[in-house]
Every structure is written in C-alpha cells, then in structure tokens.
A and B are shown apart, each in its own frame.
Chain A
Amino acid sequence: MEENIKQYTVVVFTEDKVGLLNRITIVFTRRHLNIDSLTTSESEIKGIFRYTIVTKTTPEMMKKAADQIEKLTEVLRAFYYEAQDVVSQELALYKISTANLSTPMEGLIRDFNVRILDIEKEFIIVEKTGSRKEVLRLFEQLKPYGILQFACTGQVAVTKPMKELETYLQELNKAAQKSNEIRSWKLKN
C-alpha cells in the first residue's frame, strides 16, 4: 500500500459558511493525512468557495476522504485529480539581502523571469510565479545571497477535464429537487 502513494490535488466547492475550512481539514486529520498546501478563494460563481488542497496518499484513501468531504452538508462537490489533470501555479515572494548583491544575481532574476516588487537599501523583494519546482529552484539559487523572508501561496489549480462548476450546480439543483420528491413519496408510503 505504501508504495502506491501519489500526489493529489483536491478541489472542493462549498457554500460560503463559517467553519467549513475546519470541517474539511478534520477529514484529513482523522485519516492522518498531511496537507501539503491549501488555498481558498471565491470561485467563478459568486457565493461559492473553492478550496485547493494538495496531499499525498493512496488512491483508495483519497477516494474515501473525498467522499467524506462531499458528505459535509455545505460542501457542494469534492473532486480529486492527479498531477497530469491540473494546471497549477504558485506565487512566491522572496526578500533578499542586498549585502551580497552582485551581477550574477541580476542575471538570475532575468533568467527566472521574476518581477522586482521593491528595492530598498538593505533588501530587494522579488516575486516568482511558477510550479513548486521552479519556486524551490529559485529559492536554492537565491540562498547564497541571504533570504531574509520567503512566503509562498501554495498551489492554485484549474483542472483540464471540461465539465465546469455551472454544470455541476445545475445537476445539484436537479438532484435536490428529485430528493424532495423521494422524500414526499417516503412520507406518504
């Protein structure tokens, strides 16, 4: 089982309600799953929030955890994807000491396609958007100059499979209506 561990990107769509982040992470905690990164923002539809969670686990465990997340009352849908099915980026900020600043570093900044956000006497702040790998590679390159601070967003991702949230919402609305019909049938029988 151990050898079948993969990286998954879990995408969860929820209503905008207090406490949901907690409920979602509880599912990970209970199964002793580490969260590598977690980002949340409003989705393309107003009032619906999107959580992007990166974790490593087995396919079986991933399915069970996703089912338990989707079971939460205010979760609309929970999906999980392997790396090839998502396009993801991270945004990283590096605050670098100017004490050891030299020409090679300027080259580095150009090569890595980073943006300079701020230049002060004691430090320079640059931004890099890219894959986790690129972000970390730049980190290693900048290390010798003295990284005073480093902050990274964690993975934001969109998925390649074509079905969009709007379609899921329509399905859900239909299912909720049908569910009510079944409920009425039950109450009568």
Chain B
Amino acid sequence: MEKISGADAVLLSLIEEGQDTVFGYPGGAVIPLYDSLYGKRDKIHHILARHEQAAVHEAQAYAQVTGKPGVCIVTSGPGATNAITGIANANMDSVPLIVITGQVGSAFLGTDAFQETDVFGLSMPIAKWSAQITRAEDIAETMAKAFYIAVSGRPGVVVLEITKNALTSKTDFVYKKAPVIRSYVPYPEIPGEVIDKAAEMINAAEKPLILLGHGVLIARAEKAVKEFVEKSGIPFGTTLMGLSALPSDHPLNVGMLGMHGSYASNMLTNQADLIIAIGMRFSDRVTGKTSGYGTKAKILHIEIDKSEIGKIVSADLSVHGDLKSALSYLTPRIEKKTYNRWRKEFDKFYQMELEQVIRKDIQSKKPLIQMGEAVDIVSKKTAGNAIVVTDVGQNQMVAARYYKFKHPDTFLTSGGLGTMGFGLPAAVGAAVAQKFMPEDNIMKNFPVVLFTGDGGFQMNEQELGTIIQEKVPVKMIILNNSVLGMVRQWQNMFNGKRYSETDLVNPDFVCLAKAYGIKAKKVEYRDDLESSIEEMLNFDGPYLLEIMVDKDMKVMPFIAPGSTVDEMKLVSND
C-alpha cells in the first residue's frame, strides 16, 4: 500500500465518515492540511469563515440541521483560542463537532514556539474528549475514535490537536469506523424492571407533566416521543433547546419551561404529582430555585448522561439510557389516558398570559414596534416552514416565545452557554447545510431567518463576508433597540434603572450590509413592518432587515432569580 501524508489521512478519514463539508480558517500550522484539501475540493467543500469562533458556530448549526457531526479546521495558537467559545457553546448544548486544530511541530512542543498554545489542556474542561496527535500513523485511529465519541451517547465536541510534523510525515492508512472503547458505554442497557416501575408511576399519576428537552432531538426520538405523549395523554412543556421537538400547536403542548417560558407550564409545575423529564438536564433557567421546584411531584428522569441524573433535581426513579429505545419499551406499557381536567388548568393560565402579555407583545398599540410583532409576522408568513436562528438575549426569548414551530431541529439557539454573537454564524451554518442537503429533505428550501439584536450582531458581523462568499440567502432581522436589552431589563428591574454600559452607539446597518453587496432595509414604522418582512422573505438572496424596536420592552413573564417556578411574575411592575 502506498503511504500518504498525515494531512491526507485526516481528509480521507473525513471522507470515510461521509463528511462533505468543513468549516475553517487557514494558518501556518495547518497549511499542509489546506494543501491536501486543495486536491480534494471535489469531495470536501470548505467554508471559509471570517473568524474561528464563527467557524465553530457555523459547524454547530450545520450539525444540528443535518444530523451529521460538524467539522472545523483551525490553526494553532490564536486560531485555536478563538475557537474556544464555539467549542464550549456546542459542548454545552450537546452538539457533535470535530474541531481539528493545528499545533507546532512536536519537537517544539512546550517551548513557547510561535503560535503555540496548549490547546489539548485548554480544551479539557469544555470538550467531551480531546487528544493530541504527534505521529501521522495515529491519525486514522484517533479520527475514528473522535467521530464515534462525538456523535454517540450524549454528543459533544472532540478537539484534536495535530502537530505539524504529524501532518507532513507519511503513513499507511487503514480506517476502522466506530471502534469499541471499553471505558466508554454510550448506550447503557436499560433493565426491564426499571421500565416496569416507570410505567407504574405514570399509570398511577393524576396530574402528570412531561418535560421535553434537546435530548429528544438528539436521540432522533420525535416520533417515539409523540407516540408516548399522545398515548399517555399527558400535557408537556419543552425546554428552550427542545422547542422544535414537537409542534408548538400540539394540543398537549403547554409551552416553554423556565425563566421566560409560558405562565401555565411554570405555575403548574408545582401542582403536578409526577414530572417526567425526557432528555433534559434541569438547567437553572428551567427550575428556578431548586428547593421549591416540583414540590408535590415525584420525578421520573429519562436521561442518557448518568452524571445529569440527580445533579440538580433528585430523581425518584431514573431511566438511564437512550430515550428512543427507552420509549420503545415504555410506551407499550402505559395506559391510554386523557387528563382533560388537568389539561384545562393550563388553559386558565394561558388565557391570563394571552390577555396580559401575549396580545400586548404581538398586537401592540404602543407607538414603537415591539420585538414580538416582528416574530409573530415571520411566524405567520412562514407557517413553521423555516429554520429560525437567534442570538442571545431579548431577541432570543421573544423568538422562542412567539415563533410557532412545526418541524424538528428548526430552532437554533445558544442555550447552555448563552453566547452573544452565536446567531449570525449559526444562520450561515444552517444555510450552508441546506446547500448540500438532498432534495427530499423537507428543510432544503426553508428560509433561514435570524433574529438578532444590535449588540449580538456586532459580535460576529464579519460573517457577512462568509455569506457573500458562499452565496447563502440568510434572512437577517436585527431587532435594533440600541441597547443591550436583556441586561438593561435586569438593570431596570433589579438595579434601580441604573443603566450601566448598556447603551450602544451603532453603525448604519443598512450601509454595512450594502458594503457587502447585501440587500438591506430599515423599518421604523409599524405600517411598513409586514410588507418589509414579506419583501425580505420573498427576496432571492441574503437580506438584512433592521427593525427599530422599543428599548423599554420587557420580556415577560419572568421567574426572577432566586424565585420558584410558581412565583413567576406575569407582568412587570411598571
């Protein structure tokens, strides 16, 4: 067999894994990798981001939309340190990524060589797994292990640091996918008696509540969950990351959980006698004060990551394993039921929220446009047939609250890490993923609509360059209130309106877009809002729509920090 370079071995490994797209940014230590890529452009499409952080966010969105792991290539030193935020973000939201970083030659390791940082060490607390490769002959085996670890069990980010000499020296290439690793059991077997007990608990409950998390989407268990939910007749709420797991208008859907979630799901959490948590980790944003969470409920936790069981909320019974297979045993064992009276209790709270919050947000009579109006129009015009991406803050919460989802994995947001600047690159990544999707994928021709703020947009606005280079028709909506809205809301509510450093002096976003040759428009008046959104959605190509919105808008309802779920405030005091 002919020997090949380590760089070729990296790319052949990607091809073996069926990867056709990588995101990245070249630099000294990865020149051999890019040289090898040059000869394989017909098999692997490289997306040139404008910053390594953005490249990782793009790879994450690509992974979420395609269901394949995202791959990212960055250089050593600053390339790798720039990627850190993206790595932490994807890992916290359990998205499978392989981040390949360059490294100085192994002879220079530890010498503070030019563009040397200890990426292996830096990545340890924020990645699922990381490895340093110093020899070409280790590349194939480590890549196979990396892919297997990234996608299996609770997915996450694998960081591979490859020294320059490993990329340039020659090796044989034998690739063996999904190696068995005895110390790693991604899908533990679920004992039958646990399933029986779980079924008993469910069948005995009078006021049960199901919580659906990102795990539903990760496990590709939307159908299994739908069957389970519908047979059980139990109302369900979803976490922010699990929003698109089942349709927003499902009759049993009682809304988003947590801090800015639905009034009903939060207020009734402490009335439930059984909480069935499926693929979620009881984030503090969901639970509020944990000692006052689910006070009347037994907790049944179905979760693949053992360290999440009992981490925040202790479980009366846990089903540790893949939820798709867990539900395949559990659903046949539960009784077909309805909980009409219990379900109606949620409606009462929904009516209150509808009258006191939702209508004011989406059919506002205030002089200034409210964020909710824009989201509501996009939601109605796209009818759930869109990939919705958000940044972080008020824009994110309002999009999560008012967009009505219909299809799995059509909501991309930074949940765990809350990374401002995530939105624009994530929208680019999603649009790139569509380009390479087979025609029969339902998402192929969905518009990618980004809701971002003026603050978050500027954290990665350089990605406008990637948009024009890749010719991706991203629809960008900047909800511009000229402030850092969510921090300002907290300053308003908890810091005596002392608006410390939350005012922004902004550029002319329309001009900025035009500098990139991207069509753009600014909306200041409600009368222009709907037609402008329509124009944006109908436009063939990328489009930036800047909507001037009310900076005094507050995202409500709200569970204040330190409060319990049922202390949720429906409206703010002023």
Contact = CB atoms under 8 A, between A and B. Distances in A.
A173 to B, nearest CB: 6
B188 A183 contact: no
A177 to B, nearest CB: 7
B349 interface: no
Given A175-B188, A183-B152, A186-B324, A22 B121 contact: yes
Interface SS of B by simple majority: loop
B120 interface: yes
Nearest to A17: B131
Contact of A186 (B132, B187, B306): B187
Contacts of A19: 120-121, 124, 130, 132
A23 B184 contact: no
Contacts of A127: none
A64 interface: yes
A63 B310 CA distance: 9
B180 interface: yes
B407 interface: no
A33 B124 CA distance: 18
Nearest to B223: A189
B125 A176 contact: no
Contacts of B328: 189
A176 B325 contact: no
B323 to A, nearest CB: 11
Interface string B261-294: 0000000000000000000000000000000000
A96 interface: no
A102 interface: no
Interface stretch (A3-11, A67-75, A139-147): A67-75
Contacts of B178: 180, 183
B183 A22 contact: no
Contacts of B185: 172, 175-176, 179
B189 interface: yes
A179 B182 contact: no
B307 A67 contact: yes
A186 B181 CA distance: 18
A74 B130 CA distance: 11
Interface residues of B, number: 34
Contacts of B149: 73
Interface string B118-158: 00110011001110100000000000000001001000000
A30 interface: yes
A98 B459 CA distance: 68
B373 to A, nearest CB: 42
Nearest to A69: B307
Contacts of B220: 186
Contacts of A67: 306-307, 309-311
B182 A76 contact: yes
Interface residues of A, number: 32
Contacts of B181: 73, 176
Contacts of A189: 324, 328
B183 A76 contact: yes
Interface SS of A by simple majority: helix
Contacts of B311: 64, 67
Contacts of A169: 182
Contacts of B130: 19
Given A22-B124, A186-B324, A179 B186 contact: yes
A18 interface: yes
B52 interface: no
B189 A175 contact: yes
B305 interface: yes
A67 B308 CA distance: 8
Nearest to A15: B183
A47 B462 CA distance: 49
A18 B132 contact: yes
A183 B186 contact: yes
Contacts of B125: 26, 30
B322 interface: yes
A178 interface: yes
Interface in B54-105: none
Nearest to A189: B324
A182 B187 CA distance: 6
Name which of A67, A173, A177, A179 has the most chain B CB atoms within 10 A of its CB.
A179
B322 A182 contact: yes
A185 B132 CA distance: 32
Interface string B441-472: 00000000000000000000000000000000
A-B residue pairs, 4 tightest by C-beta: A67-B307, A182-B187, A179-B187, A175-B185
Given A19-B124, A67-B306, 8 more contacts: A63-B310, A67-B310, A73-B181, A73-B184, A179-B188, A183-B187, A186-B187, A186-B325
16 contacts: A19-B120, A19-B130, A19-B132, A67-B306, A67-B310, A71-B307, A75-B183, A76-B182, A172-B182, A172-B183, A173-B182, A176-B181, A176-B182, A183-B152, A186-B322, A186-B325
